[in-house]
Chains A and B, each alone.
Chain A
Amino acid sequence: MPTITYRDALNQALKEEMERDANVFLMGEEVGVYQGAYKVSRGLLDAFGEDRVVDTPITELGFAGVGIGAAMVGLRPVIEFMTWNFALLAIDQIVNSAAKMLYMSGGQIPIPIVFRGPGGAALQLAAQHSQAFDSWYAHVPGLKVVAPATPYDAKGLLKSAIRDENPVVFLEGEMMYNAKGEVPEGEYTVPLGEADVKLEGSDVTLVCHAKTVTVAQRAAQQLAEECGIAAEIVDLRTIRPLDTDAIIRSVAKTNRCVVVEEGWPFCGIGAQIVDYIQLYAFDHLDAPVLRVTQADVPIPYNKRLEKAAKPSPERVVEAVKQITYLD
Chain B
Amino acid sequence: MKRFPAYDPPEYVDWQPDAELSAEFVDTWYRDPERRSIVEQLNREPKLDLYRGLLRTRLHDITLKRWVRHGIISKAWLGTGEEAATVGPVHALNRRLDIVAPMIRNAGACCEMGMPVADMLRGYLGTYDSPSRGRDGHVGDLDRRVLQPISNIGIMPPVTVGIALGFRLRGEDGIALTWVGDGSMKHGGTHEALGLAVAQHLSVIFIIQNNQIALGTPVTVHHPPGTFESVHQAYGVAGWSFDGNNVLDAYAATKLAVRHCLSEAGPVVLAGETFRMGGHATHDEQEARELIPPELFTHWGARDPIGLYEEYLKGDGVGPHVLERIESEIVQEVEDAEREALSSREASRPAPESALEGVYASYSPSDEGSERVP
Interfacial residues, chain A to chain B (CB-CB below 8 A):
23, 25, 51-52, 54, 56-57, 59, 61-75, 77, 89, 92-93, 96-97, 101-110, 112, 141-142, 144, 165-166
Contacts and interface: CB of A to CB of B under 8 A. Distances in A.
16 contacts: A51-B168, A65-B156, A69-B159, A69-B163, A69-B166, A72-B147, A72-B166, A73-B163, A92-B152, A93-B155, A96-B152, A101-B148, A102-B363, A104-B138, A105-B131, A165-B361
B10 interface: no
Contacts, number: 160
Given A57-B196, A65-B155, A72-B163, 12 more contacts: A54-B165, A56-B199, A59-B195, A62-B189, A72-B159, A92-B189, A93-B159, A101-B148, A104-B148, A105-B132, A105-B136, A144-B360
A93 B155 CA distance: 7
B170 interface: yes
Contacts of A71: 162, 166
Contacts of B195: 57, 59, 62
Interface string B129-169: 01111111010111100011010100111111111111111
Given A106-B133, A110-B361, A142-B359, A61 B189 contact: yes
A104 B365 CA distance: 12
A255 B150 CA distance: 48
Interface residues of B, number: 51
Contacts of A23: 169-170
B358 A103 contact: yes
A69 B160 contact: yes
B286 interface: no
A141 B133 CA distance: 18
A279 to B, nearest CB: 19
A56 B161 CA distance: 13
Nearest to B199: A57
Nearest to A57: B195
Contact of A73 (B130, B150, B170, B193): B170
Interface string B179-211: 000000000110011011001100000000000
Interface in B204-237: none
Given A61-B189, A71-B162, A105 B140 contact: yes
Given A61-B155, A72-B159, A106 B131 contact: yes
Contacts of A51: 168-169
A209 B103 CA distance: 41
A103 B135 contact: yes
B362 interface: yes
Interface string B283-319: 0000000000000000000000000000000000000
B166 A107 contact: no
B158 A75 contact: no
B360 A142 contact: yes
A56 to B, nearest CB: 6
Contacts of B189: 61-62, 65, 92-93
A166 B136 contact: no
B364 interface: yes
Contacts of A102: 358-361, 363
Which residue, of A65, A102, A109, has the highest number of chain B Cβ atoms within 10 A?
A65
B148 A109 contact: yes
Contacts of B200: 54
A240 to B, nearest CB: 10
Interface in B27-83: none
B162 A65 contact: yes
Given A72-B166, A96-B150, A105-B148, A64 B360 contact: no
Contacts of B150: 96-97
Contact of B161 (A69, A141, A142): A69
Given A70-B165, A105-B148, A65 B159 contact: yes
Contacts of B130: 106
A235 B362 CA distance: 27
B19 to A, nearest CB: 46
Contacts of B99: 73
Nearest to A27: B165
